[in-house]
Amino acid sequence: MPNSPIEPPEQLYARPFYSLFVALLCFMGGVSLLVHLRKYIALGTDDVGAASSVFDVGLVGSIGMIGSLATRPFVGTSIDRVGCRRILWLASVLGAITLLGFLISTELWLISALRVVLQLSQATFLAAIAVAAARIAPPNRSAESLAMIGMGGLLGLMLGPMLGDLIFAVFAQNQTGFSVFFVTAASLMLASLVFIRWAEIPLHTQLRADHESFFVLVARHKPGAVVIVALCLAMVQTVPIMFIEAFVEARQLAGVTLFFLAYSPTAIILRIVLRRLPERLGRRRTLIMGMIAYPIGLVLLTRVHTTAGLILPAIVMGTGHCFTYPFLVDLAADSMPPQHRGAATAMILGVLDLGFLAGFLIVGTLIHCYGFDISLYALATITALGVVAYSWSQRGSFVPIKADI
C-alpha cells in the first residue's frame, strides 16, 4: 500500500491528522491494557501478592525492551525508505498477533519472550507515527502536530487501564477472564489498521546517496544533551506504565482507574490550551518545565494513602507528560536533515528504550528490596539531577521569549 507522494498540506487539522490520531488511540489502548500484566504473571506463578510479584513485572518489562532496542536501527532507515504507512500496518498486525499469543503463555519465560515482540511492535509503531505526524504538518508546526496527535496515545493510555478494570469487574481473574482481556487488546490494535488506511502521508523520497546506515547517521549527527532527558524521562515513566498497579494494591486502594482519569485528561487539556506555548517559550524551556513536574509528582505519590489521594500526583505527572514527549522527539529530530527524520526519531526513541530497560529493572528491584517510598524518592532525585544537568548544558541555546506571552 504505497504512500501518496504529496506535499505537506497548508492546514494541520485535516483527515490525515484525525486518522493518525484515532489509529494511535486504538493502538495505545491495546498496549496500555497491559498495565494489568502483573495479574497475569501472578496467575501463572500462583502468586497474587503485589510486593512479591513486582520484581517479576520489572524483569519482564526490562527484558521486553530488548525488542525495541533491536529494532531501532532498522526501523528508522526503513521508514525513510519505504514510507510510514507500510511500517504502521506491519507494527499493528505484529502487535495483535503477539497479544493473542499471551493466551497460551503463562510461564514467565514465554511472557518475557512475547513482551520482547510486543515492544518491537510498539517501538516500530510509535517511531512511524511520530515521523508521519511531522510529515503531515505545515512548515514549522511539526512539534504541534506531534503533541496533538500524541493526545490519541494519551486517551488510549487512559482508556486501556479503565477497560481492564471493567473486564475484571465482570470476569474473574482466571483463564477465561484473561482470554477476554487479550482478545480485546488485540482487537483494538487491529482497529488501528482501518484508520491508517485513511491517512495520506507525504513520502520524502531519498536519493541512493542518502541510504546510509543508522549508526553512521547517528555518529555524524550527534543528538547532544537531549539524551540525558530521554533517559530520565523513560525511567520515571516506568511508574505509570508498569508499577502503578502494584503501588495501588500495596496501599490497598480501589484500582488504577482514578489515577489515569486524572493523568491523561490533564495532559490532553493542557496540550489543547497551551499548544502554541513552545512557539513563545521555546521547545527547550517547555521540555524542562515538563520534566520538573515528574519528581514533584513522585514525591506527592509517596504521600498517598487513599484512592482520592491519587488525583493530585496524577495531575502533576500528567502535566509533565504534556510537555515532554513531543518536544523531546522534535528537538532530537532536528539533529538530522529532513530526509533522515525517521532515523533521528528512531535514535531518540532508542535512547528512551535504554532508559526503560534500566528503569524497569532498577525500579522493580528497589521496590522489591526497599518498598515504594524509598524507590520513588530515589527516582525523583535522579530525575531532578538530570533536569539540572540538561538545563546547564543548554544555557547558551535558549531562544528569546516572545513578548506576547
User: Looking at residue 277, which CATH number applies to its domain?
Assistant: 1.20.1250.20
26 or 255: whose pLDDT is higher?
26
- The string of pLDDT tens digits covering residues 348-389 is 888 888 888 888 888 888 988 888 999 999 999 999 999 999
Grid cell locating 121: 511492535
Contact 100/144 with Cβ under 8 angstroms? no
**Is the residue at 9 inside a domain?**
no
Q: Say which residues have a Cβ less than 8 Å from residue 14's Cβ, sequence separation at least 6.
A: 136
**Is the residue at 208 inside a domain?**
no
**Is the residue at 310 inside a domain?**
yes
**Is the residue at 405 inside a domain?**
no
- Could you tell me the residue range of the domain that residue 119 belongs to? 15-200+221-393
**Is the residue at 402 inside a domain?**
no
> Which helix or strand (DSSP H or E) is residue 256 part of?
none
Contact 276/219 with Cβ under 8 angstroms? no
> Which pLDDT band, with edges at 50, 70 and 90, does 29 fall under?
very high
- How many domains are contained in the chain? 1
User: What is the value of pTM for the model shown?
Assistant: 0.71
- The string of pLDDT tens digits covering residues 47-95 is 444 444 555 566 666 676 676 677 677 776 677 777 788 889 999 999 9
| Cα 16-322-274 angle, rounded to 5 deg | 80
Contact 31/203 with Cβ under 8 angstroms? no
**Is the residue at 343 inside a domain?**
yes
The predicted structure's pLDDT at residue 8: 52
**Is the residue at 36 inside a domain?**
yes
Distance from C-alpha of 286 to C-alpha of 306, rounded to nearest angstrom? 32
Best-predicted range by mean pLDDT among 39-48, 94-103, 141-150, 213-222?
94-103
Q: In a 3-state reduction of DSSP, which class is residue 208? A: helix
Q: What 8-state DSSP symbol labels residue 138?
A: P
Residue labelled with grid coordinates 501463572? 44
